[in-house]
């Protein structure tokens, strides 16, 4: 499916997506559509509510032509997210109707600028079209081949093209992340994740270095190695670097992604139902790989290093056990009370590594870390723990641009006491209560004094069903937010000069 900005003759398409606001007398609506819409509205058949789709068929000389009326809700309430969801629904209808050449008529809005309108339409349609069907023999190809955005004002054409070029890169990075998450664990294990990261690095333009077990041992990443021990597949430390602002080498954004290619729970074994989707326990890794892809391909003037400590959490005679006391790269000891709380053990070494060896000035970690975040916030919102309000504001701004919702959880000192052990420096779980916060704060103990954001994406990295522009499976959560955070950072630095 490809997208163009082009005014087409009606003979050249078989479907037209026609946006309409709720209860509006739209000034830019053509007469032929207007009379039909008025009648549909007065008979309550189509009102223009956000995401409502109604189609009209017309017969031309040699074919049938479809007009898909698409509701966008009230004009003054329009948001980018509303556009994404509405256009994902329009695309689904176009596919149902087996349309192949679609024209999308642009609309005016004072609430959402032309660039954001273009981006949201594209995201809604392309991300909504995604399906992981690699292993299905009888693939049902999408009927929609080309999409043309038409009726863009002359003065907006350049901006629209610029926005389209950017969103194509960003969306393809999200799809890379979704593909990684959806890949099963018998195919995608640490070595394969490293190989695919190298390939993505080559294609998008960032450097990838992969360290094997020997080097990980040499680095003293004991906590990471303890989790990896139970698996016959050896761990990999994947390091990604993009230095787009050589003059400011002291300013590097550090990204850390949880990279458990499978989490059985270890000896604190998960029930089968909970284990099936644990191939997605590298959603944080996928997010940082996707973010690196978009940041480097768009050649953002900023420096970013990302690290993934990838392994499997398995059971064997070599595996770590509840009751063990382990060490970590930072030298702190940890009492293991539950082998299923493994993500944080890999992350503390990755965080210590990225600060000590890659000299990053700020850290963001993303992890499918706790089931508790689903209980607290559901599957629509990422839970955040931070030690820096200003950094959180940057994240909030980026999240407004991406539409990926975030919510800060409290991090009072009382919670920190819950992860102190009597027989070691820490214990790896804080008890039943406040599970997402204690998991986050455990990682926070290893960030030294760096500004830090922890994003628990256990609820948002995976979707149980097709919903809006998400499809069942990996969502690519975090990629777009991280991209905008990096982009806003370089724009702010530029403005301050």
**Is residue 196 among the annotated active site residues?**
no
Please identify which of the residues 41, 74, 131, 270 carries the catalytic annotation. Answer: 270
> Minimum distance from CB of 139 to Zn ion (Å)?
31
Q: Does 340 bind Zn ion (CB under 5 A)?
A: yes
> Could you say which of ligand BES, Zn ion, none residue 200 binds, taking C-beta under 5 to 8 angstroms by partner kind?
none
Please give the backbone phi and psi of residue 474, each rounded to the nearest 5 degrees, phi first: -60, 140
Tell me whether residue 14 or residue 445 sits nearer to ligand BES (CB atom): 445
> Could you say which of ligand BES, Zn ion, none residue 51 binds, taking C-beta under 5 to 8 angstroms by partner kind?
none
Using alpha carbons, list the distances in angstroms from residue 311 to 149, 187, 190, 263, 476. 44, 13, 6, 9, 20
Q: Give which of 252, 487, 486, 246 is closest to 361, Cα–Cα.
A: 252
> Minimum distance from CB of 242 to Zn ion (Å)?
27
Looking at residues 258 to 277 of the shown chain, list those that interact with Zn ion (rule: CB under 5 A). Answer: 260, 263
Please identify which of the residues 344, 362, 427, 480 carries the catalytic annotation. Answer: 344
> Minimum distance from CB of 340 to Zn ion (Å)?
4
> Considering CB under 5 A, how many residues would be counted as binding Zn ion?
6
**Mask: binding to Zn ion, 26-65, rule CB under 5 A, as x and -?**
----------------------------------------
Tell me whether residue 259 or residue 435 sits nearer to ligand BES (CB atom): 435
Tell me whether residue 21 or residue 462 sits nearer to ligand BES (CB atom): 462
Q: Which residue has the tokens 């940082």?
A: 288
> Could you say which of ligand BES, Zn ion, none residue 372 binds, taking C-beta under 5 to 8 angstroms by partner kind?
ligand BES
> Minimum distance from CB of 237 to ligand BES (Å)?
19
Single residue of 52, 129, 245, 281 touching Zn ion by CB under 5 A: 281
Q: Does 343 bind Zn ion (CB under 5 A)?
A: yes
Tell me whether residue 129 or residue 226 sits nearer to ligand BES (CB atom): 226
- Measured between alpha carbons, how far is 232 from 191 in angstroms, rounded to an integer? 12
Q: Is 57 left (phi over 0), alpha (psi -120 to 50) or beta?
A: beta
Buried b (16+ CB within 10 A) or exposed e, 1-11: eebebeebeee
User: What would the DSSP string read from start to end of 414-478?
Assistant: HHHHTTB-SSSSEES---STTHHHHHHHHHHTTSTTS-EEEEE-TTTSEESS-BTTB-SEE--TT
Q: Which residue has the tokens 């333009």?
A: 205
**Is residue 63 among the annotated active site residues?**
no
Chain residues binding ligand BES by CB under 6 A are 263, 281, 338, 340-343, 368-372, 429, 435, 458
Tell me whether residue 95 or residue 233 sits nearer to Zn ion (CB atom): 233
How is residue 105 written in tokens?
A: 């008529």
> Minimum distance from CB of 67 to ligand BES (Å)?
42
User: What would the DSSP string read from start to end of 342-393?
Assistant: -HHHHHHHHHHHHHHTS--SEEEEEE---THHHHHHTTSEEEEEES-HHHHH
Q: Does 312 bind Zn ion (CB under 5 A)?
A: no
Q: Note whether 75 and 111 are within 8 A (CB).
A: yes
How is residue 199 written in tokens?
A: 């390939």
Q: Give which of 84, 99, 49 is closest to 69, Cα–Cα.
A: 49
> Could you say which of Zn ion, ligand BES, none residue 292 binds, taking C-beta under 5 to 8 angstroms by partner kind?
none
How is residue 310 written in tokens?
A: 């990838």
Q: Catalytic positions, please?
A: 270, 344
Point out which residues bind Zn ion (CB under 5 A): 260, 263, 281, 340, 342-343
């Amino acid at each position: 499916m490809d997208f163009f900005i082009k005014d087409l003759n009606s003979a050249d398409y078989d479907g037209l997506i026609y946006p309409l606001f709720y209860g509006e007398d739209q000034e830019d609506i053509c007469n032929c559509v207007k009379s039909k819409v008025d009648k549909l509205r007065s008979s309550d058949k189509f009102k223009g509510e956000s995401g409502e789709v109604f189609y009209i068929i017309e017969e031309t000389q040699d074919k049938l032509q479809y007009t898909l009326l698409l509701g966008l809700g009230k004009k003054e309430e329009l948001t980018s997210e509303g556009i994404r969801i509405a256009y994902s629904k329009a695309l689904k209808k176009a596919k149902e109707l087996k349309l192949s050449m679609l024209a999308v008529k642009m609309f005016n809005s004072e609430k959402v600028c032309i660039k954001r309108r273009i981006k949201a339409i594209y995201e809604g349609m392309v991300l909504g079209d995604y399906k992981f069907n690699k292993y299905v023999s009888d693939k049902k190809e999408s009927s929609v081949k080309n999409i043309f955005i038409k009726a863009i004002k002359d003065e907006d054409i350049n901006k629209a093209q610029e926005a389209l070029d950017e969103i194509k890169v960003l969306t393809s990075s999200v799809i890379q992340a979704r593909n990684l998450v959806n890949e099963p664990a018998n195919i995608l294990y640490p070595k394969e994740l490293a190989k695919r990261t190298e390939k993505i690095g080559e294609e998008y333009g960032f450097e990838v270095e992969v360290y094997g077990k020997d080097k990980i041992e040499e680095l003293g990443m004991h906590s990471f190695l303890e989790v990896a021990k139970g698996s016959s597949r050896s761990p990999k430390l994947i390091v990604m670097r993009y230095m787009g602002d050589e003059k400011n080498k002291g300013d590097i954004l550090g990204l850390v992604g949880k990279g458990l290619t499978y989490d059985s729970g270890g000896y604190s074994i998960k029930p089968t139902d909970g284990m099936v989707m644990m191939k997605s326990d590298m959603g944080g890794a996928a997010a940082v790989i996707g973010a690196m892809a978009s940041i480097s391909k768009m050649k953002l003037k900023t420096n970013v290093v990302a690290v993934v400590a990838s392994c499997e959490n398995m059971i064997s005679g070599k595996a770590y056990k509840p009751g063990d006391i382990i060490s970590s790269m930072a030298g702190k000891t940890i009492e293991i009370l539950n082998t299923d709380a493994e993500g944080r053990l890999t992350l503390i070494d990755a965080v210590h590594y990225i600060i000590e060896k890659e000299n990053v000035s700020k850290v963001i970690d993303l992890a499918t870390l706790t089931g508790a975040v689903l209980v607290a916030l559901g599957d629509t919102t990422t839970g955040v723990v931070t030690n820096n309000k200003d950094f959180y504001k940057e994240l909030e701004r980026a999240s407004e641009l991406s539409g990926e919702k975030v919510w800060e959880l409290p991090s009072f000192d009382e919670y920190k006491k819950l992860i102190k052990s009597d027989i070691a420096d820490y214990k790896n779980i804080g008890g039943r209560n406040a599970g997402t916060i204690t998991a986050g704060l455990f990682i926070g103990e290893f960030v030294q004094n760096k500004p830090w954001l922890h994003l628990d994406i256990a609820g948002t990295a995976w979707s149980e069903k097709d919903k809006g522009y998400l499809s069942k499976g990996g969502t690519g959560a975090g990629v777009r937010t991280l991209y905008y955070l990096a982009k806003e950072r370089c724009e702010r630095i530029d403005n301050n000069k």
